Every structure is written in C-alpha cells, then in structure tokens.
Amino acid sequence: MHIAANDNQPNLREILLDIFEIVNRDFAWTGETYSKPFLAGLFNNDKTPEQDNDCFDFCNYCRSMLYEYDIQSRLVYCEIERHGKWSRHFVVEVQGWILDANQETVVPNTMLDNYRWKSISGYKLNEGWREIVGFSM
C-alpha cells in the first residue's frame, strides 16, 4: 500500500508501518549489513555500488521518506546486545515509535529492553546531538 501525503492521511503508525515496509523491501539483510546495489552510495558518497549499506543508511532512507510526509524524526545512537556483546547501532525515532532495521515492525521505544539509548539527534540537520541520561527499562 502506498500512502499519498494529503489532508486525509491515515494515523501516524500506519504511515510508519508503510515506510518501514518499503525500506525493508528495498534493503536485503546480509548478516551485519544490508545490501541493495541501487541504494549503495545514496547516503554516503564514499561507498561504491558494490558495497553494503548498514543501519545508518537504513535510518537515512527512512528519514528521507518521513521527510516527504512532513513527519519529523530523529536519529538515535544506541547499543544493542548481540551474542553477549554490545554493538553500536542506529534507529529512527518518531514520537516514541522506533524504526529499526533489526525489528520485524515499527515498535514503541519501551519495547526494546536490550537497547542502551546513548544519544539522539535534533529534528533538523543543524541541530546538535543530545546525550540520553537517566533512561532505564
């Protein structure tokens, strides 16, 4: 389902689910990275078409689609536990909803108990990052 941006938009979660579905369809999971030749280099100019995309590219793709719907979003830097080790990771946050390449669907931030939230971007490019403190599950 493609949702056209207009005055009769469905609720926010429906739009987020649609965007999440589109981005997941365009990215192919290959272990620790995502691969889709036509997307490689789209967000990071130093990548060649043969290189894999990662969670940061996934987030930028989500944010570019959210921007088209005039939905404000933020990048969130976090750490997630994988195989007993903590790994760096990025997700997109929209009014408490998380778009995460590692999840099956859009989820509320309170559902991700194995995440350590570290810092969050502003809504605009020129806004700085803020450390997340005092957030525990």
Which tokens in the block code for residue 10?
């469905």
User: What pLDDT does 44 receive?
Assistant: 46
Q: How large is the average pLDDT for residues 77-105?
A: 91
4/28: higher pLDDT: 28
12-131, CATH topology level: C8orf32 fold (3.10.620)
User: What pLDDT does 135 receive?
Assistant: 58
Could you tell me if 83 and 114 are in contact, meaning their C-beta atoms sit under 8 angstroms apart?
Answer: no
Phi-psi category of residue 37: left, alpha or beta, with phi > 0 → left and psi -120 to 50 → alpha: alpha
28/63: higher pLDDT: 63
| Residue 33 banded pLDDT, cuts 50, 70, 90 | low
104, exposed or middle or buried, with CB in 10 Å at 0-12, 13-18, 19+?
A: exposed
| Residue 29 banded pLDDT, cuts 50, 70, 90 | low
User: What pLDDT does 93 receive?
Assistant: 97
- State whether residue 20 is helix, strand or coil: helix
Cβ-based neighbours of 100, under 8 Å, separated by 6 or more: 55, 89, 91, 92, 107, 112
User: What pLDDT does 63 receive?
Assistant: 94
